[in-house]
Amino acid sequence: MTTLGFDEHDDSYFDEAYDDFLPPAIYRCIQAESKWDPQIDLTPSYEILTSFEQEIDALCLQTSDEHVRLDKLLDRFYSEWLFSASSLKVPEYKLNCISYTLTMRSGSPTTLAILLSHFLQHAKLDACVSITQGDIGIHVAMSDEEGYTIEPSSGQQSWYIIPENVDEDNAQEQEPLELIFDDEVYKLFLAQQKWSFISENKFGHALNCVEMLMDIIGDDPYERRDRGYLLNQLGCPKMARDDLQFFVDECPDDPAIEIIQHQIEELEDNNNKTHH
C-alpha cells in the first residue's frame, strides 16, 4: 500500500485536481489552515501523517483479521501514539486544527474523530465519522448488521448488532447514527472552526471559514447571516446589511428573525447618521 500520489504541500494541486477528484477530507482540513494563517508551515503535519500511515501499512501486513486490526490500531493510537483530549487550557480553535492535533497528540473530539477515522480507513476498515445526538464519534461497520462505535476522546468502543428479524425502520431507531463522509466532514470541520474563532473574537479567521463553506454549499442563508455578523464586526456595515437582509428574505420564519431585523435597523440608522 502506498500513500496518495500527490505533493500535499503544493497549493496548486487542490485547484487543478478539484474538478477531477477530491483528496481525503483530512488533507483538505489541514490545507484549510493556510487560509487563516498564511505563514503556517504545514510540511511537518504532512510528514507526521505519512509516518503514521506507514506504521499502519506495516500493522496491516501483520494481521488480516479486521477485529484484531481494529484493536491493534486503537491501542496504537491511544496507548503508543498517546492521542487524547487536552487537559490543558488550550484555545478551542487550536484544538480544532488537525496540524495541532498531529503535532501535540491532543485535540478536540472532532479532530480526533477525523484523524482516527482516516487511519482506520487507511487500514482498510469500513470507518467514518458519525454524529449521535450531537456527539461526534467514529463508526466502524463489520457487516450490514454489526460493528463498533468509538468515542474519539477516550477510544472507548461499543459493539452493536442489529437482530435479523428487525425491519429497516426499527433498525434505524436502534442505531440513531448519522454517518458523514468527505465533503460533510470538511464542512463540519470548517463550521466548528468558525464558531471557535468567533468565541475568541477572531472575526477575520472566522470569515475565512464562512467563505470556504460558501465555496462548497453556495449562497446558504445561514452562512450569509454569519458573514453579515462578521462583516459588521470587521467594519463593513453596508455589506453586512446586504447579507443580513438576504437571510431575512430567505428565512422569514426563523426564530431569530426579529433579532436580525433589529440588527439591520441599527446598521441603517448608523449609515444614515454617517451620511448626515
- The cell numbers describing 233, all together, are 464586526
Same domain as 172, residue 117 = yes
- Domain annotation covers residue 46: yes
Closest-CA residue to 207 (of 182, 245, 235, 247): 235
Structural element, H or E, at residue 248:
helix 237-250
| pLDDT at position 12 over 90 | no
Q: Residue 184: count other Cβ atoms within 10 Å of its Cβ.
A: 16
Q: What is the pLDDT of residues 242-254, one digit of tens each?
A: 999 999 999 999 9
Same-domain pairing of 137 and 22: yes
Residues 73, 170 within the same domain = yes
Q: How far apart are CA 211 and CA 66, in angstroms?
A: 40
* Residue 211 placed within a domain: no
Q: Which residues of 159-173 are buried (b: 16+ CB within 10 A; e: fewer)?
A: eeebeeeeeeeeeee
Tens digits of residue pLDDT in 158-215: 998 877 765 655 555 555 689 999 999 999 999 999 999 999 999 999 999 999 999 9
Residue tagged 509516518 (cell numbers): 51
pLDDT of residue 166: 59
For range 122-141, the mean pLDDT: 94
pLDDT at 172: 52
* Claim to verify: residue 31 and residue 100 sit in the same structural domain: yes
Q: What is the pTM (predicted TM-score) of this model? A: 0.85
Please tell me the total count of domains within the chain. Answer: 2
Once rounded to an integer, what is the mean pLDDT over residues 119-148? 94
- Same structural domain for residues 69 and 132? yes
The CATH number assigned to the domain holding 28 equals: 3.10.620
How many other CB atoms sit within 10 Å of the CB of residue 177?
A: 17
Q: Compute the Cα dihedral for 171, 174, 175, 178 and give only its sign.
A: positive
Kindly tell me the sign of the dihedral angle through the C-alpha atoms of 34, 97, 91, 198.
Answer: positive
Report pLDDT for 14: 45
Contact in structure between 178 and 130 (CB atoms under 8 Å): yes
Q: Produce one character per residue of 115-152: b if its CB has 16 or more CB atoms within 10 Å, e if not.
A: bbbbbbbbbebebbbbbeeeebbbbbebeeeebbbbbb
* Contact yes or no for 267/232 (Cβ under 8 A): yes
Residue that wins the pLDDT comparison between 268 and 56: 56
**Cβ 150 vs Cβ 143: under 8 Å:** no
**What is the pLDDT, as a whole number, of residue 169?**
58
Q: Are 11 and 32 in contact (CB under 8 A)?
A: no
Question: Average pLDDT of 242-267?
Answer: 93
Confidence label for 9 from pLDDT (cuts 50, 70 and 90) = very low
Query: Which residue range is the domain that position 141 belongs to?
Result: 11-183
Question: Which pLDDT does position 21 carry in this prediction?
Answer: 65
> What are the pLDDT digits (tens) for 42-93?
999 999 999 999 999 999 999 999 999 999 999 999 999 999 998 888 999 9
Cα 38 to Cα 34, 41, 66, 209, 215, distances in angstroms: 5, 9, 41, 14, 19
The per-residue pLDDT for range 81-121, each reduced to its tens digit, is 999 998 888 999 999 999 999 999 999 999 999 999 999 99
Count of all residues that appear for the chain in the document = 276
pLDDT given at position 68: 95
> In this structure, is residue 147 part of a structural domain?
yes
Looking at the domain assignment, is residue 170 inside a domain? Answer: yes
pLDDT at 160: 87
In a domain, 214, yes or no: no
In a domain, 200, yes or no: no
Tens digit of pLDDT for each residue in 226-247? 999 999 999 999 999 999 999 9
Note the pLDDT of residue 73.
97
pLDDT computed for residue 71 by the predictor: 95
Q: Is the pLDDT of residue 6 over 70?
A: no
